[in-house]
Amino acid sequence: MNLFDQVFNSDELQSSINDTTHILKLHSAHSNKDLSNLLIQFTNCRLFYDSKIIKDDLWIRNGLIENPRKIFFEEKRQADVQIDLNGLLISPGFIDVQINGGFGRDFTIDANIDECLSEVSKGLLNYGVTAFCPTVISSDSSNYKNLLPKIRDYLNKEKSCKKLSSKILGLHLEGPFINKEKLGAHDINVLKTLDNGIKTLEDIYGMSVNELRKFVSILTLAPELDPSNEVIKKLTDSGIVVSLGHSKANLKQGENAVLSGATFITHLFNAMLPFHHRDPHLIGLLSNFNLESHIFYGVISDGIHTHPSAINIAYKSHPNGLVLVTDAMSAMGLEDGRVHHIGNQAVQIVKDLTTKKRSAYLQGTTTLCGSVATMDDCVRNLISSTECSLVEALRCATEHPAKLLGIYPLNGGSLNYGAKANFTIIDDNINVKATFINGDLAWSCSDWSPLIKCKFIP
């Protein structure tokens, strides 16, 4: 049931309409099945706003967050619809910049990529995710040449649609330009070097950088494969975020990559050399005071990929750079008991009988390969790992990824006035109660029943 249905099925509706003007206004909204021109006020709630949790109301109209001062002092009007949240918290929607699939679908190998993207976009709403970067892992050139044009065309079509689903912010291409000694779950047979620089990259993907930049947001590569940093410079100059990962790079190589434009580290600690006191490798970028303001880093806070102590060290070193990612694969959102895939690799799900946590391993090995965690889980795990506040944890799932992608504050990561009304409603344990897209209710849990009042006061 979307917000339109919630409003027009509310018990309060008929008793609240008492003159012709109000009836006509309601009739117009009902006939068009469109609440966008109505002013909606969320009340009796708290907001995660400007790095604080405050007790205040949220006002939305036409899919955007409104400034109540302007409404009170210039328009001099009240809300058309008032929704009482009974003390719940409104947060900007979560953003996941590394997710391989979910709900039985895999972005790299799915035979029907349109259906795959649509299904995952819808399913992520359950976990408060309002935007994400579908991640395609290392493939052979023929798969890229078949897959990438289809995803490009799908995203172009979506721009004109008003679906109530999580928004796709562009692809994350993770590989194939990664180190063979740090491949993780990637297929060693499809990994490539950058012998001819940007020409190799364009040949493998089957598209020029100018074409890729229109629908690719992030590209993960190992910086040691680009010693001149010419590829990194070309990509970042085009607007693609370069992420360092699946790498044996030393600290100096990492520093040079950042100075050339790289701004992200893919799943910190995983598939890279560990911290060493003589050369901290890529991990050392977090505490380099000349660079840390330029670097964000992804953390899979699922309780499996990264030990809580390691997360705590990273967070304490550079709290403003931590970006929560799920790195979820096709088994996310599904029960155990079947074989899943990440790319072409078969995966088995193992459940720890003590902790009840589920892990994904390459079938027949001890190699972790993506997670089955959801973003709300990751927020909870970050709090338990670091003892950070709810505010600090929410920043890592909202503001930080939005800043990484350059969409903060109006197109993601905030509840600022003028921002898109893409948000999630949660309780203090980060249980998601409802998710809104463009100001409309896109998903709600079965026990969410807000009190709705329809005032229709001109």
Q: Which residues are catalytic?
A: 327
Distance of CA 433 to the CA centre of its chain: 18
User: CA-to-CA distance for 89 and 87, rounded, in angstroms?
Assistant: 7
| CA distance linking residue 97 with residue 95, whole number of Å | 6
Token pair in block for residue 181: 């000694």
Eight-state DSSP code of residue 417: T
- Classified as helix, coil or strand, 281 is helix
Distance linking the first and last C-alpha atoms of the chain: 27
Contact partners, residue 146, CB within 8 Å, separation at least 6 = none
Q: By the 8 A CB rule, do 77 and 457 touch?
A: yes
Which residues, in sequence order, are CB contacts of 121 under 8 Å at separation 6+? 132, 163, 165, 166, 167, 168
Kindly list the distances between the CA atom of residue 306 and the CA atoms of 5, 79, 254, 298, 312, in Å, as whole numbers in the listed order.
43, 46, 21, 11, 10
d(CA 180, CA 284): 22
Phi, psi at 305, each rounded to 5°: -70, -35
- Amino acid 362 reads L
Q: List strand residue ranges (DSSP E) for 38-169, in order.
A: 40-43, 46-49, 52-55, 58-61, 64-66, 81-84, 89-92, 94-99, 101-102, 105-106, 129-137, 167-168
- What's the burial of 415, exposed, middle or buried (CB within 10 Å: 0-12/13-18/19+)? buried
Please tell me the distance from the alpha carbon of residue 434 to that of residue 443, in angstroms, as a whole number.
Answer: 6
Would you say how long the chain is, in residues? 458
At a CB cut-off of 8 Å and minimum separation 6, what does 339 contact? Answer: 346, 347, 348, 363
Residue 58: phi and psi, rounded to 5, are -115, 130
Query: In this structure, what are the phi and psi dihedrals at residue 375, rounded to the nearest 5 degrees?
Result: -65, -35
Provide the 3-class DSSP secondary structure of residue 342. Answer: strand
